[in-house]
A = this chain, B = another copy of it.
């Protein structure tokens, strides 16, 4: 359920209304949807009714949301959300490329990679310090040491830092370094983690689980929003199917459908989505033309020597060409929109 406010509503009137809702046992979420102010009312067990709300003079309409995912849906907010972080904007037609190595291996490599990223006009540095590895015997990441190196590199080249948090206990330490928290595919339904991240104020990059339906995906995003953090960025990284020629199957349908059903930005990670270096570029630009708001790309000085995921990682030269094509594709997409 959400309220459409009259344009005339004053800040004070809005605060009074919000207090009323909160005092009746609900959460609230405010948004602006193409200049219309809305207040979402969260929770099933509170005491607020449609009738009681209509008595407030600033209430224009009270609308029930049909979808199970409520406040991430385009029913609640049809205007695409733009998430701001360190002066950059994610969403809209802004160029968003989150790049870096799968794992932070040492200080030099991350500094070097950051330099390359910056030189290619990218603004986001991604990399793993805590790594979810299928085998307990594989490299598990550098931990806090890795976070320090990443922060140093991000600061030196003025990049936004994105890194994964795997456990509620790590939120604090990771939060001391990162600008954006990443939730990995294997943790997409780690509801404890989602709830705690909902209480933070940094943007969350939420990766789709390998067998998560789009509904599951949006419900996971809803968890974060329901616990207080509206800044969720979705990331399609391929789903598991019977096809074995590629590591995963990128769901381009899903990208197009998510753009229709929700207002959150969506990033395509074709490195994990395909598992094959040569496919990263065509799949990334294809998905961007289909609606994705940006790309996540693994890049490494020498992919063959990467401690993890080398097969899907670009070298600097290919990365540069891919960035240029992404940029052109974003411009072309804007041009296409004028046809409607």
The residues of A with any CB-CB pair to B shorter than 8 Å are 42-44, 68, 70, 132-137, 166-170, 186-187, 189-193, 195, 209-211, 213-216, 219, 222-223, 226-227, 238-246, 248-257, 259-260, 273-274, 276, 278-279, 282-283, 285-291, 321, 324-325, 328-329, 332, 335-336, 339-340
Contacts and interface: CB of A to CB of B under 8 A. Distances in A.
A216 B283 contact: no
Contacts of A278: 256, 260
A274 B289 contact: no
Nearest to A245: B214
B213 A242 contact: yes
A243 to B, nearest CB: 6
A285 to B, nearest CB: 5
How many copies make up the complex? 4
A266 to B, nearest CB: 12
B244 A254 contact: no
Contacts of A216: 134
Given A68-B135, A332-B332, A246 B242 contact: no
A252 B289 CA distance: 12
B68 A226 contact: no
A210 B239 CA distance: 12
A7 B216 CA distance: 53
Contact of A279 (B133, B240, B250, B256): B256
Contact of A168 (B169, B215, B282, B287): B169
B250 A246 contact: no
B260 A254 contact: no
A70 B136 CA distance: 10
B222 A136 contact: yes
A282 B274 contact: no
B242 A256 contact: no
Contacts of A43: 137
B249 A249 contact: yes
Nearest to A333: B285
Contacts of A192: 166-167, 169-170
Given A168-B169, A187-B190, A289-B329, A256 B282 contact: yes
Nearest to A331: B332
Contacts of A273: 253
